[in-house]
Amino acid sequence: MDLADRVGSDRVFEQLQGDLGGRCDILVNNAGLSGVRPFAESDDALLDQLLGVNFVGAFRLTRRLLPALRVTGHASIVNLGSELALVGQVGYTAYSGTKGAVVSWSRALAVELAPDLIRVNVVCPGPIDTDMLNREFDLLPQPAAARAEEIGTIPLGRLGTAADVAAVVAFLAGDGQHS
């Protein structure tokens, strides 16, 4: 679904509520779009699209599922931010702003929902080897050199993987009971 499409996403949210039977233990807000464009060329359409998916969609889904999260007495929300919410990078001003909103909102939500025993965390991954990142490299004059330069800034000497992020999310979403 397109989280920026409020009418379409409302229909999916309603169906999701019905499918959950009034209870939701874990919510992971992982949808995200990137838009690489210099600030001076960032138009309202780009900002609206990135805000709609990266922040507003997560905000609206969480608000819609809040009653089902409260029922459990131990729910967990994990939001996906980005390292670019915390550090600057040329061409990512709109994206960084939307992911910064996710980080700030997550902090406030964690405090507000703590009395309901709903844990809220935000994960801010660095560069992850995904189709989205690879498309961004492909936009550059020398994609292979740009990829190598990015990897050169990472102490482990490799891009992160979806599995790396999933493991962190699973840990944060879990109930802390490990065998």
**pLDDT digits over 70-90, tens only?**
999 899 999 999 999 999 999
Cβ atoms within 10 Å, residue 102: 23
Q: What is the pTM of this model?
A: 0.90
Is 35 contained in some domain? yes
Let me know if residue 151 belongs to a domain: no
pLDDT tops 70 at residue 177? no
The Cα 42–Cα 47 span in angstroms is: 7
What is the domain count for the chain? 1
**Structural contact between residues 129 and 165, judged by C-beta atoms closer than 8 angstroms:** no
Examine residue 147 and state whether it is found in any structural domain, yes or no: no
- Residue for token pair 């482990």: 156
| Residue 68: predicted pLDDT | 92
Q: Residue 75: inside a domain, yes or no? A: yes
- Residue 69 domain-assigned? yes
pLDDT in tens, 130-145: 999 889 888 888 989 9
CATH number at residue 80: 3.40.50.720
Q: Is residue 135 part of a domain?
A: no
Q: How sure is the predictor about 162, in pLDDT bands with cuts at 50, 70 and 90?
A: very high
72-96 as b/e: b if 16+ CB within 10 A: eeebbbbbbbbebbeeeeebbbbbb
By residue range, what is the domain housing residue 67? 6-125
Tokens describing residue 42: 């960032």
Q: Is 95 a catalytic residue?
A: yes
Q: Say which of 55, 92, 95, 105 is annotated catalytic.
A: 95
Is 31 contained in some domain? yes
